[in-house]
Amino acid sequence: MGAVIKAGEAKDVVPVIQPGIAMEYAFTTGIKKLVGKNKPKVGFTQGHGEASLQDMAQAYQELSILYQLNSTNLQNDTIDLTAYKTLVMVKPTDSIPPDRFARLDDYLSKGGHLIIAFNQIDANIQYGSATTLNTGIKQWLNTKGLDVEDALVRDARCGQVNVTQQQGFFSFSTPVQFPYLPLIQKFSNHPITKGLEQVLLEFASPLNFKGHPDYEFTSILFTSDKSSRENIPIQFDVQRNWTEADFLEKSIPIGGLLKSKSGTAGNIIVITDGDFAINGREQRRQNEDNISLLVNGIDFLSDDTGLIDLRTKSVDTRPIEELTDSKRNTLKYLNFLLPIGMVIVYGIFRTNRNRQIRKRRMEERY
């Protein structure tokens, strides 16, 4: 069952209405799509090797309903940045000159907001190495009290990479856990992360807020209780046998919100992975919560209608319980042995029962 929303001659279709699922966000965005004429502008910065809007097809599809999305070249001094409610900088790869950061500072001082998703470390699995990527963002964030470490986090709860193995004349791929791809399931209680279940990041760096008179910092993304950090230079070994001794830290911040104390200047969302919302030219599909993280961040900074609360209203987080090795082994053997034990007990019961039946019949016969 679906629904049709009409406004004059225009109409929009909500294809599926699921029983028990809150549909306020779908209906409200459908109405805004039809009647909203002056959409807030969101600019995606260009000029420093950033990802383009074409590289973020999933995010574009979600955001274009409520916002007017533009590519904004910071090299062009004639562009009025104050026309944009929020600027988004995703995966810059080139060095950013000081005058561009000065433009961003001026934009922020006038109430504009900024999202930066960037890689502090340039990691390459094929070459098995990781080095610092000098874009200038680290130094700029340092002026606001936020330190981005020249390191990568490692997490026991992580994604996988495929390792090609050769056996005779045949080669085959085997998925292997790779701790440098942290699977984030620990979030702060914040509108940006509300309703998220798991975000898969690639080569994220730790954040450390040292304090600042003009900003306060709220961490929103954390590693699990079994994690660690590794300083560069790093040599990757995808076939390494990891142990618990490799994950002695917990709750390392890798994303957060720099909030202005003035109340008039803009805020900054920082995520130390530039790839988390990118589909790429080949349009590989991203994890839905990765896209929701970016969309929620833009909604939080740009939308004054309260839609962000509706967007995640029907989503309940269902975290997977972290088990100790002893408990995991106990459950594993219990799952294996319990059915066998039940069959044996049932067999003994049936044998005794049949024996008693035969005994009664023999007694009745004689």
What span, in angstroms and rounded, lies between the C-alpha atoms of 220 and 270? 10
Residue 128 gets the label, from left (phi > 0), alpha (psi -120 to 50) or beta, of left
> Do 299 and 311 touch, CB atoms closer than 8 A?
yes
Give the model confidence (pLDDT) of 85-142 as tens digits.
999 999 999 999 999 999 999 999 999 999 999 999 999 988 889 999 999 999 999 9
Only one residue has tokens 């610092």, namely 132
> Do 234 and 120 touch, CB atoms closer than 8 A?
no
Max CA distance (Å), the chain: 113
Evaluate if residue 331 carries a pLDDT over 80: no
Structure tokens at 334: 């219990």
Least confident of 141-145, 286-290, 346-350: 346-350
* CATH topology for the 15-153+184-311 domain: Rossmann fold (3.40.50)
> Do 213 and 151 touch, CB atoms closer than 8 A?
no
Domain boundaries, the chain: 15-153+184-311, 326-366
pLDDT value of position 127 = 87
Of the candidates 77, 71, 78, 74, the one whose C-alpha atom is nearest the C-alpha of residue 41 is: 71
Locate the DSSP E strands across the chain: 3-7, 10-14, 41-46, 68-73, 86-90, 113-117, 121-124, 129-132, 146-148, 151-155, 158-167, 170-184, 186-187, 199-200, 207-209, 215-222, 227-231, 234-235, 253-260, 268-271
- CA dihedral in degrees (15, 314, 303, 287; nearest 10)? -80
